[in-house]
Amino acid sequence: MMLLLPQALTQSSASACLAQLSAQLRAQTQAEVVVDALALQQFDSVALAVLLALRRQALAAGKSWSVNGLPTRLADLARLYGLADLLGLLQPSPPASAP
């Protein structure tokens, strides 16, 4: 079972979203928690806080954790805040230098 992020995850919806996803995580019997962010289109930095809270809960329950389909802008924000490793994001390749 995947945990599906909504289309919008902002300050106004974060608490309700986290409560709903946390309940789903607790009910999940699989050893791996996968958060699907493909639908996420509108977000602010609180989305990172929700992801980190879910990660913490999954690891505390002895489950592995990953994120699928994180929007580029949110991944860039995670890198800026130094959270890329915690979220399992690969570092982008440096741009090729011109000959």
The pLDDT of residue 91 is above 60: no
For residue 95, tell me if it sits in a domain: no
Query: φ, ψ for residue 68 (rounded to 5)?
Result: -115, 130
Range of the domain at 35: 2-80
For residue 76, tell me if it sits in a domain: yes
CATH number of the domain at 73, please. Answer: 3.30.750.24
For residue 53, tell me if it sits in a domain: yes
| pTM strictly above 0.75 | yes
The pLDDT of residue 95 is above 60: no
- Per the structure, the count of domains in the chain is 1
Q: How far apart are CA 79 and CA 88, in angstroms?
A: 11
- Per-residue pLDDT of 27-78, as tens digits, reads 999 999 999 999 999 999 999 999 999 999 999 999 999 999 999 999 999 9
**Which pLDDT score is estimated for 92?**
53
Phi-psi region of 63 (alpha: psi -120 to 50; beta: other; left: phi over 0): beta
The pLDDT of residue 13 is above 80: yes
For residue 38, tell me if it sits in a domain: yes
pLDDT range class, residue 90, cuts 50, 70, 90: low
